[in-house]
Structure 1
Amino acid sequence: MNFYKRSATRLVSFSQAVFRYPLSTLCFFILVLLTILSIHSDNTIYYSETLTMLIGGIAAFTGQSIYERFFRNSRLIRLGIYIVVIIFTSLYYWLFLKNYTDINTVIYIRSSALISALTVAYIWVPSIKSKLSFSTSFTTAFKAFFTSMLFSIVLEVGMIAILGAFSFLIYNVDYKVFIDLSVVIFGFFAPLYYLSYIPLYPINENVLTEKDKQAITTPKTLEALVSYIIIPLLAAYTLILTLYIITNLSGQFWNDNLLEPLLVSYIIIGFIIFYLSERIDNKSTFIFRKYFPEILLVISLFQTIASLLKINQFGLTHGRYYVIMFGVFAIISSIIYSFLQNKEVYVPALFISLSIISIIPPIDAITVGLNAQINFVEDVLRKNNMLVDNTIIKNEDISLTDREKIANSIEYLYNTDGVNRIDWLPNNFDIYYEDFENTFGFNNYDYKFLSESDNPDFESYTANYAEVRLNENETFSVDTEKTAQFVYVSINNMGYESIPEQNLPFDFNDNAFVLQVLSDDQTFTVNVLNDQNEEMINFDLQFLLNDTFEYVPKVQQMSDEDLTFTKENDRGTVKIILESLVTYADGTYSGKMYVFVSLNN
């Protein structure tokens, strides 16, 4: 009976959430509809429109929290807030989303920052000038999120099991229906079920309902999890970070990019645990709350300085922009918790402010990152005399450090649509094909084969491969007057792409012959066989895989004379001209070559 009563109560709460958040309900419904239309459409995918509805739904329930906190019972103001939300969402779509057909890096970064700001604002608003603390509101939202996700996952598994059994036993169901079901559950049910767990703030603490008491109470399981598992784990993690910083202050720490994502995750997780622990009264949480701000201040200060120094080495990107922003947030927040009263009010406001700053042009993360990288790569190009009168001059002899800087910057600009802002790049520039090497004169992956070294140019480093090619800037000719057969052959002994044996028949003086190319793990030869399958010429090319070419981390462009090899006997001649060849230390190889066969009468 209690089960049915609780189920009925949750169903009533869900329906109340629909009426409490009508604009959010509408946005999530349209989001689900657009997603299902995209799933069942062969040509039209509503990426931007779906994201707009997601942002609109979150903005709408954030607006609802403002109404409930400051303007409750004023329907006119509630309508005004909804109109503002609609205008805001529409402007965001027209300014930032309308011209994109998919979710790229630019949209993902900007929209993620906006969603984060709106979500924190939704949690923070009820605690403004209220007896309700931010940590209470945060804990309530935290519980609601994971409860709604758990219910949604259970519902998803159950519905898929039922639908799967029906499809298997009775009537075959299109697989897209299963996807539709997931979209409805996680796109409509989950967010509204989450909202149904949020009490109507502000709460009069003297007349709490049982539902409200349950909503704001920290469960014993969560208390134990935070106090005796998560805080000790975070303390151990903090100790490792601190020891790493202390032991590497003399060098590696200032050049190590690995700590940047670790710092961001540490700040986020640290503050989540900090707010969850504020409503838990025991020795473990007390010690954590007392020392966490000071420790965070030290770690954030060192890492922010290191990130600022890395700008000179690799330039500023949106990723480093956010690392520095989170570092500034952590430093200021630590100071606030150490010296100010009513500290909870300021920290969420600081996070929201920095998040909004990071998406408003021209000081947003994307714009700042693009402009910084364009200036950075132009400086490197000019230093190497590769950018003259706004024209790129190829240079394959620049240092590997500068190659890495150019390749990283161009790849960043390509992935963030920044190449469209550069007039010295060719039209329709594509970094993943030959455009990069044709433009700059060197391969954009060479530097990635390098290991760490104290020498910034890695001059003493030996790669585990050799790659040679015919010089594309030189022409060559071959006398084919006595040639009986000419073929262009691809060779490869690497995994499933291997071509172990190729037999190419040809005729000469009314006699049948076979040009045989063997390229497996043990053999690399070119043979000429007669019609009796007797070997007339055997050219063993195994020497090309050993010490013929130097193992260096770059493409070696060579003349046709250096890449021409000949085998001659009394029956004829086989001449090989390598167009390209890559050999690896493990014995694998691939390439392309011209084969000329001359036979004696």
Structure 2
Amino acid sequence: MKLLAVLARRLTGLNTTIMRFPLTFLLLVVLAVIQCATIESGHKYGNMIVTLVFAALAFSAAQVCAERYAYSWWIRMFSIVGATLLSILDFLFIRHDPAFSTIVLTRTSIAIFGLFITFAWLPSLRGGCSFYTNVMILFKSIFRSLFFSIIIYGGIMLILVAVDTLLVQIGSRPYSYTGIILWTVWAPTLFLSLLPVFHDENSAEFEHAAKVPKFLDLLISYVMIPTAAIYSLVLLIYMIKTIAIREWNENLLEPLILSYCVAVLLIYILSNWLMNQSAVLFRNLAPKLLIPIAMFQFVSTLLIVVNQGMTHTHYLVLLFCLYAAVSGVILSISSLKNRGTLAILAIVCSVIAVTPPIDAFTIGRTSQTARLQMVLERNQMIRNHQVQPNPSIERKDQEMIARSISYLEQINALHRLSYLPRNFDISSDFEKTFGFSPYARSNYQNFDIGTNHAVRISGYDYLASLSINKPGGKNHFSISRMSEDGVVYQVSFEPTGKYGTIQITDSKESVVLSAPLAPMIDHVEKSKKNAGSDTVAVDQMSFEKENDKAKIKIIFQNLTVEGVSDNSFDATVYVLSSIK
């Protein structure tokens, strides 16, 4: 009954919310109508839909700003004009791009994120409630509106299913229309109805709205904080390992580190008013741990950019890591952490990321275009302002060209390259334009000695067969053991360096002989294959090394190399060895 009473109060409060956010509500209704029209006509209104979503949030933020300055009519007018201009600018930025393309969704998502942070920050102006309080209010409002909307949506769906099954067939459209109306109009309006009026006279309402429920207290203190602590430990160990083996550009945890930074900042904000021991300890330690972890990812991504050029994803990763590191510094300084500096910094970063000519896509396009032209000119592939095919260029350069063309095609920027044929299509025109496959950077190159060749073993005492690959954990590879004069030796693969090393170690795990694979694999890649097959002469796949303690001969039975920039390979090798 209590749940029903709360829901009834929310329903009666919707009229007040509509009067409070009239422009937002109107935009939501228009958005729902356009979505329904899309179902009826099949015409795509993608960019208009994206702009309306952006505009609805912009006018909501404008209303919040106006409430903070309730006695200033010019602030109200400035807020409305500002929201209108921002919405128009958003539409102008995306109007020429395909609906729901990467560039449209990414740019609008960043802009909406910046607007949401602005929405949370504006009530803290003029000595209002803190930014952390506002985030807690918004978090609770989002959670409660989702909870009620899911219940109502589930109930309506059950009714429609019952009517469709028991009474009369209604088709699929009522389900679609119901979902559009509920999630486009009802749920956002319910969310807005849960927000207090952001004015100094409503301080008691602020405190009530920002009060941390017991459930959320337990969730933050005993689930989210311990999980973040364990996660931090794992990341720190990984950082130490990566730095120790000096393989920064092979770091595999970029999405996990970014999600960690987001989670730490969110947990910090949500736990700001909790005074239990775990929350206090987290707020003291988490910002300090955030700094090295964010900077680690910054350096790792920067090394990738040096090797592969800038893209919009790398740009955003670098920008966010820098933001996270600076946020860690701010939260570690007691005089700054409660002044809303985090919000201002987030807004500034959002503006930078979407404002030409310093936005993510412009920088990414410029970088990849310059990199592509550099490689083409280095290989003398541009003549008379046209690309000339050259199938004999190095595989590394083929990868760079394929990567840049693929990225520029992804962001719809190929038409800017004057030296490409008109209406160039990467799937049908790439190979005849450049002289090699567009998948050079991702396809596998195979080398094999075949099954009809005998391997000479004279001069060696032991033969071992190893299955090796990279990337892969050290325990994933086959290891062979041998005994000489009562001493047990081991032939194994050590996955460090560019391609790893095959080595012989004694019973004390001291290295007797080490043979790096990088020069061997580089040599195999340059070997000439037999016509019509992947087989290579045995002598081109065989390599010897010797010192005063042992000698070794490595013969690749087969080798598959994915990409020179990835340092990934898979191989089966014969290892002939003798201990002196």
TMscore range, shorter length = 0.7 to 0.9
Distance in 1 between residues matched to 2:239 and 2:532, nearest whole Å = 43
Q: Which of 328, 332, 348 is the equivalent residue of 1:334?
A: 328
Deviations 1:198-248 (A, max 9, x none): 11123557x624xx5442111111111111111111111111111111011
Q: CA deviation at 1:35?
A: 0.8
Match of 1:187 in 2: 184
Assess, with a 3 A threshold, how the Cα gap between structure 1 residues 92 and 3 changes in structure 2: closer, same or farther: closer
Q: Does the aligned pair in 1 maintain the 2:402–2:440 contact within 8 Å?
A: no
Instruction: Find the counterpart in structure 1 of residue 51 from structure 2.
Output: 52
Counterpart check, 1:382 vs 2:366: no
Aligned to 1:514: none
> C-alpha displacement at 1:339, in angstroms?
2.8
Matched, 1:446 2:444: no
| Cα contact 1:466–1:552 (8 A) shared by 2 | no
Partner of 1:572: none
Q: Do 1:400 and 1:458's aligned partners in 2 also have CA atoms closer than 8 Å?
A: no
1:414 to 409, 417, 422: 409
**Whole-angstrom distance in 1 between the partners of 2:225 and 2:161:** 42
Q: Deviations over 1:79-133 (max 9, x none)?
A: 442233223312321x212223411111111111100000010011112342512
Match of 1:169 in 2: 166
Q: For residue 80 of structure 2, what is the aligned residue in structure 1?
A: 82
Deviation at 1:180, TM superposition (A): 1.4
The residue that corresponds to 1:290 in the other structure is 284
Residue 446 of structure 1: CA displacement?
3.4
Query: Does the CA contact (< 8 Å) of 1:40 and 1:176 recur in 2?
Result: no
Contact kept? 1:132, 1:202, Cα under 8 Å: no
Structure 2 residue identity aligned to 1:448: S
Query: What do the CA deviations read for 1:46-74 (whole angstroms, capped 9, x no partner)?
Result: 111111111110000111111111x2144
Partner of 1:66: 65
Aligned pairs (5 A) from 1:465-504: none
Letter in 2 for 1:295: L
SS at match of 1:286: helix
User: Equivalent residue for 2:37?
Assistant: 37
AA in 1 matched with 2:418:
D
Q: Answer whether contact 2:24 2:56 (CA < 8 A) is retained.
A: yes
Name which of structure 1's ranges 126-135 and 287-296 shifts more when overlaid on structure 2: 126-135
Pick closer, same or farther for the CA change 1:347–1:393 going to 2, 3 Å: same
1: CA distance between counterparts of 2:217 and 2:441? 50
Q: Matched residue of 1:296: which SS? A: helix
Corresponding residue number in structure 2 for 1:103: 100
2:157 paired with 1:160: yes
Give, in whole Å, the separation in 2 of the partners of 1:36 and 1:257: 45
Shift of 1:250: 3.9
Please name the residue that 1:262 is paired with.
256
2:420 alignment partner, one of 413, 420, 425: 425
* Cα separation, 1, equivalents of 2:271 and 2:188: 25
Residue equivalent to 1:21: 21
Distance of 1:98 and 1:122 partners within structure 2:
25
The answer to whether the 8 Å contact 2:114/2:350 transfers is: yes
The separation in 1 between residues aligned to 2:128 and 2:336, in whole angstroms, is 11
Contact 1:466 1:553 in 2 (8 A): no
1:158-557 aligned at under 5 Å gives the runs 158-204=155-201, 208-209=204-205, 212-251=206-245, 253-256=247-250, 258-339=252-333, 341-344=335-338, 345-431=340-426, 433-450=427-444, 454=499, 455=518, 460=524
Structure 1 residue 321 displacement after superposition: 0.5
The letter of the residue matching 1:25 is F
Q: Please state how far the C-alpha of 1:276 moved relative to its aligned partner.
A: 0.5
Counterpart code for 1:88: L
Gaps of 5+ in 2: 445-469, 472-497, 500-517, 534-557, 563-570, 572-580
Equivalent position amino acid for 1:391 in 2? Q
Which residues of 2 match residues 89-128 of structure 1 at below 5 A?
89-93=87-91, 95-128=92-125
Separation in 1, partners of 2:215, 2:525? 55
Summarize the Cα distance change of 1:226–1:46 in structure 2 as closer, same or farther, 3 Å threshold: same
Residues in 2 aligned to 1:117 and 1:364: alpha-carbon distance in whole angstroms = 14
> Offset at 1:330?
1.3
CA distance in 1, matches of 2:266, 2:396: 40
Q: How does 1:545-584 map to 2 (within 5 A)?
A: none
Amino acid at match of 2:376: L
Of structures 1 and 2, the larger Rg is shown by: 1
- For the residue of structure 1 that corresponds to 2:159, the secondary structure is helix
User: Residue type matched to 2:51 in 1?
Assistant: T
Q: Counterpart amino acid of 1:89? A: S
Residue 412 to residue 458, structure 1, CA distance change in 2 (3 Å): farther
Amino acid at match of 2:342: V
Q: 1:137 aligns with which of 124, 134, 137?
A: 134
| Mapped contact 1:140–1:198 kept (Cα < 8 A) | yes
Query: Are the aligned partners of 1:297 and 1:335 in contact in 2 as well (CA < 8 Å)?
Result: yes
With normalisation by structure 2, the TM-score equals: 0.75
Q: Distance in 1 between matches of 2:435 and 2:144?
A: 56
Kindly provide the amino acid, as one letter, of the partner of residue 285 in structure 1: A
Kindly provide the amino acid, as one letter, of the partner of residue 399 in structure 1.
E
Whether the 8 Å contact between 2:121 and 2:134 is mirrored in structure 1 is yes
Deviation at 1:146, TM superposition (A): 1.6
Aligned partner of 1:208: which letter?
Answer: A
Sort the Cα spacing of 1:274 and 1:170 in 2 relative to 1 into closer, same or farther, 3 A.
Answer: same
Displacement of 1:174:
2.3
Bigger drift between 256-265 and 220-229 goes to: 256-265
Structure 1 residue 340 displacement after superposition: 5.4
Distance 2:78 2:35 in 1: 29
Q: What is the deviation of 1:139?
A: 0.9
Change (3 A) 1:23 1:386: same
| 1:358 aligned counterpart, secondary structure | helix
Compare 164-173 and 355-364 and name the one that shifted more. Answer: 164-173
Task: Tell me if the contact between 1:68 and 1:200 (Cα under 8 Å) persists in the aligned partners.
Answer: yes
Q: For the residues of structure 2 that align with 1:146 and 1:439, how far apart are their CA atoms?
A: 54
Q: TM-score, structure 1 length as denominator?
A: 0.73
Letter in 1 for 2:59: A
- SS of residue paired to 1:248: helix
Separation of aligned partners in 2, 1:231 and 1:145: 21
User: In 2, Cα distance between the equivalents of 1:145 and 1:3?
Assistant: 17
Cα 1:26–1:395 change in 2 (3 A) is same
CA separation of 1:222 and 1:318: change in aligned 2, threshold 3 A: same
Contact 2:330 2:336 in 1 (8 A): no
RMSD between superposed Cα atoms in Å: 2.7
- Gapped runs of 5+ residues in structure 1? 470-549, 555-584, 586-601
**Displacement of 1:384 after TM fit?**
2.8
SS in 2 for 1:395: coil
Q: Distance in 1 between matches of 2:115 and 2:273?
A: 24
| Contact 1:123-1:141 at 8 Å conserved across structures | yes
1:467, 1:51 → 2: CA distance?
55
**How many angstroms does 1:182 deviate by?**
0.8
Seen in structure 2, the aligned counterparts of structure 1 residues 65 and 49 have a Cα distance that, compared at 3 Å, is same
8 Å CA contact 2:251–2:300 kept in 1: the answer is: no
Letter of the structure 2 residue corresponding to residue 440 of structure 1? F
- Decide whether aligned partners of structure 1 residues 379 and 259 sit closer, same or farther in structure 2, where only a CA change above 3 A counts: farther
C-alpha deviations, 1:381-410, integer Å up to 9, x for none?
Answer: 223333344322222233333222221211
Contact persistence 1:395–1:442 (CA under 8 A):
yes
Q: Is the 8 A contact 2:57 2:112 kept in 1?
A: yes
Deviation of residue 418 (structure 1)? Answer: 1.2
Whether the 8 Å contact between 1:461 and 1:552 is mirrored in structure 2 is: no
